[in-house]
Chains A and B, each alone.
Chain A
Amino acid sequence: MFAPAPFLLKDASVSQVMTQVCLALIPGIAVYAWLVGPAILVQLAIASFTALLAEAAILRLRDKPLALFLSDGSAVVTAWLIALTFPPLAPWWLVATGTLFAIVVAKHLYGGLGQNPFNPAMVAFAVCIVAFPALMSQWPSIGLKLPLLDQLNIIFGLAPRVDALSGATPLDAMKTALKLGEGQVNVAHLLENQDIYGNFAGRGWEWVTGAYLLGGLWLWQRKLITWHAPLAFLAAMVLISGGLWLYRPESFASPLFHLLSGGAMLGAFFIITDPVSGCTTPRGKLIFGFGAGLLAYIVRVFGGYPDGVAFAVLLMNLSAPLIDRLTQPRIFGMKEGRP
Chain B
Amino acid sequence: MARMKFLCDADRCIECNACVTACKNEHEVPWGINRRRVVTLNDGKPGERSISMACMHCTDAPCAAVCPVNVFYTTADGVVLHSKDLCIGCGYCFYACPFGAPQYPKTTNFGSRGKMDKCTFCAGGPEADGSKEEYEKYGANRLAEGKLPLCAEFCSTKSLLAGDGDVIAQIYKERVSKRGYGSGAWGWQTAYHETIAS
Question: Is this pair of chains taken from one and the same complex?
Answer: no
A residues at B contact (CB < 8 Å): none
